[in-house]
Amino acid sequence: MPDLDTGHLFLTTLAPIKPGAPVDDLQTSHVQLARIALAKLPTAHQSPATNDTKYNSPFARNQRNHLARMFVLEDVVYNGRNTQNPILARIEGNDQTKPQPVDRLNAPYLVFCADIDAITQDGDPLPTNLTAEAQQDVRKSYARKLWDTMEEELTEIYSNCYGFETVKTADQFADYLDRCHVETTMPFHDYYLELPKFHNLPFKTLLYGVLAPLVVGLLALVLWLIGVSDVPLLGWSTLATWIIAIALGLLLAYGAIRFALWNGEKPLPPGKYDDLPSVLKALYVQQKMSDLYVDNQGASDQDLYDAFGKFIEEHKPYDRKSMTQTPGVISSESPKNVTP
Amino acid sequence: MTRKLDLNDIQGNVTRAYGRYSFPFARYYFFHFPDPASGRAFVDKVRTVVTTAARWPKKDQKPEDPSMVQPKPDCTTNIALSFTGLLALGLPVRTLQAFPDEFIEGMKARAFILGDRDPGETERAAEKNKWDAHWDPIWQNNRTSSAPAEGDVHMLVTLNAQLAPDTTDKPHPALAERAEWLLEAARKAGVRHLGGIGAKGDEDYQSASAVFENVGGVNLPTRKEHFGFTDGIGDPVFEGQLSAEDEAKAVVGRGKLMGEGWQPLATGEFVLGHPDESQELPPTAPPYEFMRNGTFVAFRKLHENVGTFDRVLKEEAKRYANVANVGDVEAEETLRAKMCGRWSDGVPLAKVPTYQDWRAFQKQHKFDPDTPDLEAYKNHDVYVRSGEARDFRYADDMPGYKCPSGAHIRRVNTRDYLDPLNKTGKDPETGKPHENPDATSALNKRRRILRRGLPYGPSNNEAKDDSTEQGVIMLIMCASLFRQFEFVQQQWIQYGLDFHQGNNTCPLLGRHDRHKRHTIPENPESGKPPYVMSKLDTFVECRGGDYFFVPSMTALRMMAMGIVDPT
């Protein structure tokens, strides 16, 4: 499964953390410094407890993140030795009292995962499919956006990673993060409002397409085995017919499997209104609409009509860019949480 | 794939026995947190000076990577916290309850298992007889109830110091400076410094130092403890502890035997969060990074009854000289060696079994009594550091003709003796005991402990008896106090069945109020009968201590920030 699905990019990057400690602070290792930088990073105003804190998550400074997460991956978890049937082990001369080698990571890693809109310009519609190069462009565009909005925080975190010393500009950071990129194998995303047309497999077509030459080949084989040398009516050689037909059937079967895999790998189309600006606008409109409803309970038709007109004018439901909830907050109640 | 340990995250005393790295002085301070905030503030302050396991530069060596090497300090600082300490810091219940049972209970509650309390007494009788009346007041007042109490020891801070410049027996002034800084930090944070150390309880800290001896007119630190044995030779070596180059030399006689020469033990036997010798990750409390790179330590103040030891040895030596038909000096030296498993200078019986061999060995290595003192001192130091002093096994001596099976060092580190496939009896071809060349450390590699600590008490130039204060401050480090330290203490020191010794306890460290015997086998070919020591008395007794958790730098920071989140 690739990084791209439902018009979102499921970005995963792993940056190896340097061993030891910086020469000017030998007391605190790079792993520790990375952890401290992460611990100091403010969370979004995403719960009543954090609603009133002074600082918001730096990821809320752009309009592309649905979710972002950074953590230190110390090592892989070790699940114990590979067990073997003792009798087999004895026969193979495998001494089970001897410790086996243990798989380890070569360094601790800073993991950065993000679920982002797969676009290169703010406001673009979500794409249904992108080439590998276009996906790289999306990643780089996103990295530049991060650099422009949170350079200070990124520098504090990533300066503990290998190879970050040369990163001084947005473009260099984009290249750096791209080197750290690994393919995401299991993206998670939200539900569709309306089910789109999925890439259903034309199962019957594939089945019959593969079976037809195979059946012809088998029939010709039977004829050939009982000594008939020519196919009745057509007059083809039975030997040539069964060989060619069965070979064709196997070739088509292989092609069908490849087609099924390729079809399965195609990204799912984006959901309607699934980009971040639409989500934020929807959250905003939903809250304001509830207020409108409450305020106009029992109002006359004319008053309701006027109020609704005012509502459209004030809250601009058709415009995703203005009068919308800012990223990283849970409510549009306070004016400071609204982008005018 | 091999992976280097994050030495900057592990406390320095886990990878180094400071005493052997030219730090002959130590002070141990104990603290009590009146409330979580003051405890956190204090931990936050002290963690900034904690000595990590980062490598120290070697003499005349340019560090290949300056970020990996730290200058060697004049005084080291390390922290450990008791369970009551973690409780007082307000750690989450989920984290606390996942700590091992023996750590939660503490050392006092385990006295019966450890043999610190007379195992022949019922719990009630022991309480009535005030079994811990001889403990230092600080340890008597520790954990007086299961509820938090005023006298609970919450935190242990260990300071180790090098020699002062141009001296041979004075601690570096950095020790006093660091101690002053520490007490000031405690005062500022609102943390209580606990005194009550020493038999009279009039000491503010537990001091310790190497035993000094007058060598050629100069006072020099020795490797001796107060009974006169050379100590601390065979500490385990584990993967990642040393650089590859150092490991190859150090692992000889200190690792495990698995059929391919000496190999380092698995990291997980001593550092939490890493695979251990059972090829598993030892269980740890959540969150994962809280216990990773940490370990446990048992702090034990072991008093040495030097008067009793000398008296018993004299009596036994008299009889042995008579039975074995040897001189008094040879009798005494032999008995000492047969109790310990090493001659008093550390030469192992497994390699040099007889008195005559030993004297010749001393001469050959030039640390015999005829060599000038200072030269002998230096030669001896070189020998004790070498693999030669450690590279031996027991499976070629199953009957214990060379080193008795019940001897101290054979009990606490059984090497290849307990391999179940070892053959006993005589080899019909040679008529000698079987060599068992393929014996492994299979049952020993899960019971190893790191010994970090120093002797305490007067130098060898002063008079000592049972009432003077001397002994060893033992800091026993391991990933599982239950599986490693307590097992060795209970099964191998205070009991003898694994060595075919019945109820006989370790001749040096065991209790001898009931079982007073130690058997010294003799090779029948010598024509001599075995000798049974029968007047042993308790030479070493615990004067208090507790179990502590040694957090990683990550865990110290998490505690200081108050962000230990087990979810």
Residues 6+ apart with CB under 8 A from B243: B55
* Yes or no, beta carbons of A28 and B553 under 8 Å apart: yes
Q: How far is B319 from chain A (nearest CA, A)?
A: 46
The pLDDT score that the predictor gives to residue B2 is 61
Give the whole-angstrom CA distance, residue B180 versus residue B349: 46
Q: Which residues pair with B407 in a beta bridge?
A: none
Out of B275, B557, B563, closest to residue A32 by CB: B557
Whole-Å CA distances, B306 to B253, B398, B466, B514: 30, 32, 5, 20
Q: Is the ipTM of this complex over 0.85?
A: no
Query: Which has more confidence, B252 or A52?
Result: B252
Cβ neighbourhood burial of B34 (10 Å; 0-12, 13-18, 19+) = middle
State the pLDDT confidence band at A186, using cuts at 50, 70 and 90: confident
Tens of pLDDT along A107-160?
999 999 999 999 999 989 999 999 999 999 999 999 999 999 999 999 999 999
Strand-pairing partners, residue B206, are B28
Confidence of residue A197 (pLDDT cuts 50, 70, 90): confident
pLDDT score recorded for residue B136: 98
B198: alpha, beta or left? (left if phi > 0; alpha if psi -120 to 50): left
DSSP designation for A157: H
Using an 8 Å CB-CB cutoff, list chain B residues near A26.
Answer: 54, 67, 70-71
Quick check: B28 and B453 in contact, CB under 8 A? no
Q: Please tell me which residue of chain A has the smallest CA distance to B292.
A: A74
Instruction: Residue B281: list chain A partners with CB under 8 A.
Output: 77-78, 80
pLDDT above 70 for A1: no
The percentage of chain B sitting over the pLDDT mark of 70, rounded to a whole number, equals: 98
What are the tokens at B558? 């998490």
For A27, name the nearest residue in chain B, comparing CA atoms only. Answer: B48
Q: Are A274 and A190 in contact (CB under 8 A)?
A: yes
Chain B residues with CB-CB distance to A under 8 A?
1-4, 6, 8-9, 48-50, 52, 54, 65-68, 70-71, 258-259, 266, 273, 275, 277, 279-281, 288-289, 292, 440, 442, 553-554, 557, 561, 563
Answer for the pair B453, B475: CB distance below 8 angstroms, yes or no: yes
Rounded Cα distance between B417 and B520, Å, is 17
8 Å CB contact of B279 and A75: no
- So what's the pLDDT on residue A97? 82
Q: A272 is written with which tokens?
A: 């309607």
Cα dist from B116 to B424, B455, B510, whole Å: 34, 19, 10
Task: For residue range B64-102, list pLDDT tens digits in order.
Answer: 666 667 889 999 999 999 999 999 999 999 999 999 999
User: Quick one: closest CA in A to B8, which residue?
Assistant: A29
d(CA B423, CA B292): 41
Residue A61 in this model has a pLDDT that exceeds 70: yes
Contact (CB<8Å) B1/A104: yes
Q: At what angle do helices A30-40 and B553-561 cross, to 10 degrees?
A: 20
Interface test with A, best of B553, B558, B567 (most A CBs within 10 A): B553
Work out the pLDDT band at B1, boundaries 50, 70, 90: very low
Residue written as token pair 């130690």: B518
Tell me: the pLDDT tens digits for B206-228?
999 999 999 999 999 999 999 99
Substitution target in B279, B290, B291, B556 with the highest count of A β-carbons within 10 Å is: B279
Over residues B162-176, the mean pLDDT reads 96
CA distance A4 to chain B (A): 31
Contacts of A102 in chain B (CB under 8 A): 275, 279
pLDDT of A284 strictly over 90:
yes
Who among B9, B66, B440 is closest to A31 (CB)?
A: B9
- What is the model's pLDDT at position A49? 80
Q: Is the pLDDT of residue B112 over 60?
A: yes
Best of B50, B69, B70, B554 to mutate (most A CBs within 10 Å, chain A): B554
Report helix angle A203-225 to A238-265, nearest 10. Answer: 160
Instruction: Using the predicted structure, report yes or no on whether residue A75 has a pLDDT greater than 70.
Output: yes
Q: What percent of chain A has pLDDT over 90?
A: 76
pTM score: 0.87
pLDDT score for A50: 84
Q: What is the mean pLDDT of residues A265-290?
A: 92
In DSSP terms, B95 is beta-bridged to: none
Tell whether the model's pLDDT for residue B551 goes beyond 90. yes
* Alpha-carbon gap, residue B436 to B417, rounded angstroms: 10
The span from the CA of A12 to the CA of A188, in Å, is: 13
pLDDT of res. B119: 81
Minimum-distance CB partner of A19 among B4, B70, B71? B4
Tell me whether residues B52 and A27 touch, CB distance under 8 A: yes
pLDDT at B491 over 80: yes
Reduce the DSSP state of residue B500 to 3 states and report it.
coil
B304 bridge partner residues: B540
Q: What is the DSSP letter of A288?
A: H
Collect all residues of chain A within an 8 Å Cβ-Cβ radius of residue B68.
19-20
- Report the chain A residue with the minimal C-alpha distance to residue B71: A26
| Mean pLDDT value across residues A218-226 | 93
For residue A222, pLDDT beyond 90: yes
Closest listed residue to residue B273, CA positions, set B240, B242, B234, B235: B240
DSSP H helices in chain A: 30-40, 86-92, 132-158, 170-179, 203-225, 238-265, 276-295, 301-315
Mean pLDDT of chain A: 92
Between chains, do B561 and A100 touch, taking CB under 8 Å as contact? no
**What value does the CA radius of gyration of chain A take, rounded to a whole number of Å?**
30
A114: helix, strand or coil? strand
pLDDT score of A264 more than 60? yes
Q: How confident is the model at residue B459 (pLDDT cuts 50, 70, 90)?
A: very high
A vs B, Cβ pairs < 8 A, gives 87
State chain B's mean pLDDT as an integer.
94
- Please name which of A249, A77, A57, A39 lies closest in space to residue A156, comparing C-alpha atoms: A39
pLDDT in tens, B256-308: 999 889 999 999 999 999 999 999 998 899 998 999 999 999 999 999 999 99
Give residue-wise pLDDT tens across range B175-185.
Answer: 999 999 999 99
A108 and B CB contact within 8 Å? yes
How far is B440 from chain A, CA to nearest CA, in Å?
A: 10
The fraction of chain A above a pLDDT of 70, given in percent, is 100
Say whether A21 and B6 touch across the interface (CB within 8 A): no
* CB proximity A93 to B under 8 Å: no
For B554-563, the pLDDT digits (tens) are: 999 999 999 8
- Chain B residues touching A104 at Cβ < 8 A: 1-3
Residue of A nearest to B275 (CA): A78
Does B258 contact A99 at a Cβ distance shorter than 8 Å?
yes
Q: Kind of pairing, strands B262-263 and B212-215?
A: unpaired
The CB density around residue B392, as the number of other CB atoms within 10 Å, is: 20
B106, with CB counted inside 10 A (0-12, 13-18, 19+), is buried
